[in-house]
Structure 1
Amino acid sequence: MPPQSGTSLGKTEPCQDTPQLFTWEEIGLRSGKGNSKEERWLVINRKVYDISHFYWRHPGGTRVISHYSGQDATDAFAAFHKDEDLVKKYLSSLQIGELASDQPSCEPTKNEMLVHDFRELHKTVKRTGLLKPSYPFFTFMFLHAFLTDIGSWLLIWYFGKSWMSFLVSVAFFTIAQIQYGFLQHDLGHVSVFQKPKWNRLSHLFVAGVLKGGPPSWWKHMHNQHHAKPNCFRKDPDLNMHPLLFSLGKNLSEELGKKKKKYMPYQHQHKYFIFLAPITFVVFVQLIIIRFALTRKKWLELTLTVIYNIRVCLMYVPLMGFKSFMAYYWLARFLESNWFLWTSQMSHIPMNIDYDKNLDWVSAQLAATCDVDQSLFNDWFTGHLNFQIEHHLFPTMPRHNYWKVAPLVKSLCAKHGVKYQCKSLLTAFADILHTLKESGEHWLDAYLHV
């Protein structure tokens, strides 16, 4: 007789309608923690998924989903996916069971009440339309960057390459490039258009043709940063540790105890000012080409080449190749400074350590802080002065950050989670103060252990 329904080779199996139940301990053990098979399991809304093979095909990148192996990824999943119902169709084939009824919805080490209240806040955000973009706003942001870009060329075309027109044109070109950068950041977070397809296509154009970089590289790096901000070996923004900088108290002391000295870290607050932007300019230019070649992103590589040809054709006939090289690299250096100071002012002064598997709210608040709102600060930082709100709701259009900020502050006050907000100049100064303190922690450990 053939085996009856629910059996395989005579061995009784659970009915398909009865999900297999797991504990958090089992999920942790089967997800690479002491398991030689290095299986990758994670939990979303109490359902257990095996992503051991899927993570290679994950559209958001292989690493970003792997960083949640053995953990609760519910809030990260909700944060990164606007249309959860669409994505859940693909998740069904990966589900292997559910959490047992006696298991909490998140790991026992997490603040379950904070997690619950944040999920209610996320529902409120969706219900009140705060995830919906304003097309007039993003049209304005694009046009002001585009017109500034055209203005940089018109200045040289009309006034020639005198020192005054040269420097003003460099300033215009830098402004256009940084504002394009903020716009591609919006598109990469799927926050400009309702349909993901239009965000992807526009991201390809802005990042490739207007900025000269592959959007897939940005997505690969930046999604990891949002998933595990300031977590060493998971946040790629910390790759400069320890080759150039010693970051965070614990990591600096660890580096000192191991007698590692790649740089004179006790002076890093001094050399950060010039070394960081120069390294960033060179690193980005090389890494984007390497990424496109190794990942065979031929379309993105073509668009990057088109960008460089376009810029050369615009400026070389007007000023000559040598003057254009000075023009281009000066603008890139200024842009790099602008980007580094505005992006790192909310991260370097915050907690930097290994992944402690905190709940979503606590993890984002530990790694980010806000800067005071003003028309200038909003424009100058691309609204990333609302870094806390951006990290909690990465798909939210930036023009809505100020609306959700009071709700986030109330949530933090209720649960005793620290919410930091400071002035722009204080935020800049804190970068150097923190680097100095980290360097001192390294030096003390290096000399006395």
Structure 2
Amino acid sequence: MTTNVNTATPDTGSATGHLTDADHEAIARELDALGAEIAADLGERDAAYIRRVIRWQRGLEIGGRAMLLASSLPPAWIAGTATLAVAKILENMEIGHNVMHGQWDWMRDPKIHSTTWEWDNVSPAEQWKHSHNFVHHTFTNVLGKDNDVGYGILRVTPEQKWHWAYVPQPLYNLLLAMFFEYGVAVHDLEIDKIREGTNDPEETRRKLRAIGRKIRRQWGKDYLAFPLLSGPQFLSTLAANFTANVVRNVWAHSIIFCGHFPGDVEVFEEDRLDGESRGEWYVRQLAGSANITGGRFFHLMTGNLSHQIEHHLFPDMPSNRYAEIAPRVRELCEKYDLPYHSGSLSRQVTSTWKKIFRYALPTR
């Protein structure tokens, strides 16, 4: 617990309200120094890591699709579907998400760069980078600014005004999990503005056309080209590709929701942004994120978003470094008496779904 004299107005409703202006400045200095230390240490070890993961992912995808050429045989269908699902998870989570964050731009490799990567997902990369990299990571958990708070269809905090349309949200969330890539695809459309009639119609149409092109590309690959290549196994291969996509979607949805909504993760009112210092921004990331505990393979399969706290603090830091800095971030939280939300996957999933059910109904 810091001993500095309190010069700030305490926020009694927040776990961070005890911090002083001096605390925020000190936190900013410590985290800036940590980020600079890792940036200065990046090198061939890190570049070799991402290239190795890309090779593994491509090998898994080729192997999975090869097995599905015999998809009418149950063992081949199961093995091919599982392998393809793992390949899609790796591509979306550890590769696509992180490459498009600019985590590997320092390598200056045009093939592994945020400006050139287009991921295996129906969401166009450019739209995702705006809604996620800019909007979400700038305004993390700020009501009315961060569209990730409930994704425009879910009530995940009592600060959101209740409406009868939230009552069936457990069903909405189940469907969102199964078809998560489509929810991500329309995220940048800002559905709230469309409902209110405050959107730019031409810009909305432009984005919809881009989404349509990406969907046609993905469907053409997964639901036409590769099933056709399997000849008489067309329908079984089609079903395998659909299943692999659903598995990837449910996994991504679970990991992302567990990093943002479980337990005592905080949301903030828009006036929190008025004059927000860098230290206050860091603290908002700490209070508004949650980690998931697990082993090395688990962290890899989450795209290291199991270290969601570290990712929100340093979104452009290579993901393979999050496990390295996590103990130091936790120590900083203990030093300043700040929350460090962390738990097992089962605990975080349970906590998140409890919120989905609880806030479907009116609350005091």
Residues 132 and 396, structure 1, Cα contact 8 Å, conserved in 2: no
1:167 aligns with 2:82: no
Q: Determine the structure 1 residue equivalent to 2:362.
A: 443
Q: Determine the structure 1 residue equivalent to 2:52.
A: 140
In 2, distance between residues paired with 1:131 and 1:437? Answer: 45
Per-residue deviation at 1:435? Answer: 2.2
Q: Determine the structure 2 residue equivalent to 1:264.
A: 167
Per-residue deviation at 1:389? Answer: 0.7
Please give the per-residue CA displacement for 1:12-65, whole angstroms capped at 9, x wherever unaligned. xxxxxxxxxxxxxxxxxxxxxxxxxxxxxxxxxxxxxxxxxxxxxxxxxxxxxx
Please give the per-residue CA displacement for 1:420-440, whole angstroms capped at 9, x wherever unaligned. 22122211111112223323x
In 2, distance between residues paired with 1:143 and 1:197? Answer: 15
Q: Determine the structure 1 residue equivalent to 2:333.
A: 412
Residues 150 and 156, structure 2, Cα contact 8 Å, conserved in 1: no
Q: Which has the higher contact order (CA 8 A, sep 6+)?
A: 2
Task: Give the direction of change, closer, same or farther, for the CA distance of 1:232–1:196 in structure 2 (3 Å limit).
Answer: farther
Please give the per-residue CA displacement for 1:358-378, whole angstroms capped at 9, x wherever unaligned. 611221112101122412321
Mark the structure with the bigger radius of gyration. Answer: 1
Task: Give the direction of change, closer, same or farther, for the CA distance of 1:422–1:390 in structure 2 (3 Å limit).
Answer: same
Q: Determine the structure 2 residue equivalent to 1:95.
A: none
In 2, distance between residues paired with 1:304 and 1:204? Answer: 19
Task: Give the direction of change, closer, same or farther, for the CA distance of 1:332–1:292 in structure 2 (3 Å limit).
Answer: farther
Q: Determine the structure 2 residue equivalent to 1:246.
A: 155
Residues 131 and 191, structure 1, Cα contact 8 Å, conserved in 2: no
Letter in 1 for 2:97: H
In 2, distance between residues paired with 1:421 and 1:212? Answer: 31
Q: 2:129 aligns with which of 219, 242, 247?
A: 219
In 1, distance between residues paired with 2:245 and 2:113? Answer: 25
In the alignment of these two chains, the number of paired residues is 320
Per-residue deviation at 1:149? Answer: 0.4
Please give the per-residue CA displacement for 1:47-95, whole angstroms capped at 9, x wherever unaligned. xxxxxxxxxxxxxxxxxxxxxxxxxxxxxxxxxxxxxxxxxxxxxxxxx
Segments of 5+ residues of structure 1 without an aligned counterpart are: 1-108
Task: Give the direction of change, closer, same or farther, for the CA distance of 1:146–1:426 in structure 2 (3 Å limit).
Answer: same
Residues 131 and 395, structure 1, Cα contact 8 Å, conserved in 2: no
In 2, distance between residues paired with 1:166 and 1:235? Answer: 40
Letter in 2 for 1:155: M
Per-residue deviation at 1:125? Answer: 2.8
Q: Determine the structure 1 residue equivalent to 2:37.
A: 127
In 1, distance between residues paired with 2:327 and 2:71? Answer: 50
Per-residue deviation at 1:390? Answer: 0.7
Residues 105 and 113, structure 2, Cα contact 8 Å, conserved in 1: no
Q: Determine the structure 2 residue equivalent to 1:361.
A: 282
Q: Determine the structure 1 residue equivalent to 2:98.
A: 186
Per-residue deviation at 1:168? Answer: 2.3
SS at match of 2:105: coil
Letter in 2 for 1:276: L
In 2, distance between residues paired with 1:203 and 1:166? Answer: 36
CA RMSD in angstroms comes to: 3.2
Per-residue deviation at 1:387? Answer: 0.7
Residues 68 and 237, structure 2, Cα contact 8 Å, conserved in 1: no
More strand as a share of residues: 1
Per-residue deviation at 1:169? Answer: 1.5
Letter in 2 for 1:410: E
SS at match of 1:443: coil
In 1, distance between residues paired with 2:41 and 2:128? Answer: 22
Q: Determine the structure 2 residue equivalent to 1:32.
A: none
Please give the per-residue CA displacement for 1:390-416, whole angstroms capped at 9, x wherever unaligned. 110111111111222222122222222
Q: Determine the structure 2 residue equivalent to 1:377.
A: 298
Instruction: Give the fraction of aligned pairs with identical amino acids, expressed as a percent.
Output: 19
Task: Give the direction of change, closer, same or farther, for the CA distance of 1:238–1:325 in structure 2 (3 Å limit).
Answer: farther
TM-score using structure 2 length: 0.76
1:340 aligns with 2:253: yes
Task: Give the direction of change, closer, same or farther, for the CA distance of 1:417–1:139 in structure 2 (3 Å limit).
Answer: same
Task: Give the direction of change, closer, same or farther, for the CA distance of 1:291–1:167 in structure 2 (3 Å limit).
Answer: farther
Per-residue deviation at 1:262? Answer: 0.7
In 2, distance between residues paired with 1:166 and 1:275? Answer: 24
Residues 290 and 342, structure 2, Cα contact 8 Å, conserved in 1: yes
Residues 228 and 234, structure 1, Cα contact 8 Å, conserved in 2: yes
